[in-house]
Amino acid sequence: MTSEQTRDGKPRRRVGRPPQITREQVVEAAVRVGIDQLSMVGVAEALGVNHSTLYNHVAGREEMVVLAVDSIFANAPWPEITGSWEDDATALVVELWRLLRSHPGLADELAGRYRVSEALEELQPHLWAFVERLRTTVARSGLDPIDVIALADILLEISYAHGAAGWRSDDHDPQTLRGVGGTLRDALAASLSLPPEEMLRRKLALVFRGAQA
């Protein structure tokens, strides 16, 4: 039996079989490490195993990212569908934006993957359940089915862009206002002072207004 400490009081490295891990633990560790920092080595270190052990559970970083993204969507506090279609769509998109803000790198991952990932639907049921929920909500508008898909895409793209850019009222370069005069200058200055979520809601309201015109 191996003692817990060496003579100088330092923890002794255990000898024997490596710790057993599960696919679920790999995914949980991937989420903790973060989408923007995700690597096989980083996740292995978080789990205290050799990175080669991970290949017993995932094919590689790509699959690990796919599973981590779906886990994030699975555990998100999505709102109930209770109001008008515009209110419900706004609630879904705002919650998605909050999710993107709390997981750096997720917006870029989704923006780059969205149009080619339906083949991965089996590995990402929660992500695609959200997309379908948003489409179903927009469909209540009575728009043509093709327009429903287009509008849902626009809403997703707005959230990705707003999340990736990280609209913040306190970090815009003053040079942003250069070359803008009159009323537009005042409006731009006012827009830069808005809280990020309020700016997002304004964008969504404009999109909905245009869709109903």
Q: Check residue 166 and give its pLDDT.
A: 56
User: Does residue 36 sit in the same domain as residue 87?
Assistant: no
Report how far residue 82's alpha carbon sits from residue 68's, in angstroms, rounded to the nearest whole number.
29
- End-of-domain residue from the set 15, 49, 72: 72
Examine the domain organization and report whether 164 and 119 are in the same domain: yes
Question: Which percentage of the chain shows pLDDT scores above 90?
Answer: 62
User: Do 66 and 90 belong together in one domain?
Assistant: no
Tally of domains in the chain: 2
Question: Mean pLDDT over all residues of the chain?
Answer: 84
Q: Are 138 and 152 within 8 A, CB to CB?
A: yes
Residue 93 lies in a domain: yes
pLDDT the model gives residue 2: 45
Residues 9-60 pLDDT 10s? 544 545 555 568 999 999 999 999 999 999 999 999 999 999 999 999 999 9
Of 11, 40, 72, which marks where a domain is finished? 72
Tell me whether residue 101 is exposed, middle or buried, using C-beta atoms within 10 angstroms of its C-beta: 0 to 12, 13 to 18, 19 or more.
Answer: middle
User: Is 202 part of any domain?
Assistant: yes
Residues 6+ apart with CB under 8 A from 86: 141, 205, 208
What's the pLDDT at 116? Answer: 47
CA 88 vs CA 31, 84, 203: distances in Å: 27, 6, 15
On whether both 104 and 144 belong to a single domain, the answer is: yes
The whole-number pLDDT of residue 113 equals: 65
What does the alpha-carbon distance between residue 91 and residue 47 come to, in Å, rounded to a whole number? 36
SS3 5: strand
Compute the radius of gyration of the chain from its Cα atoms.
Answer: 22
Q: Are 88 and 137 in contact (CB under 8 A)?
A: yes
Domain residue limits at 62:
23-72
The answer to whether residue 187 is domain-embedded is yes
Residue 140 to residue 37: CA distance in whole angstroms:
39
The reply to whether 55 and 129 lie within a common domain is no
Domain identity same for 115 and 206: yes
Q: Among 61-65, 112-116, 123-127, 181-185, name the one with the lowest average pLDDT.
A: 112-116
Flag whether pLDDT at 1 surpasses 50: no
Q: Are residues 103 and 66 in the same domain?
A: no
Q: What is the CATH number of the domain that holds 60?
A: 1.10.10.60
Using one digit for the tens of pLDDT, what is the confidence trace for 117-165?
555 677 789 999 999 999 999 999 999 999 999 999 999 999 988 877 6
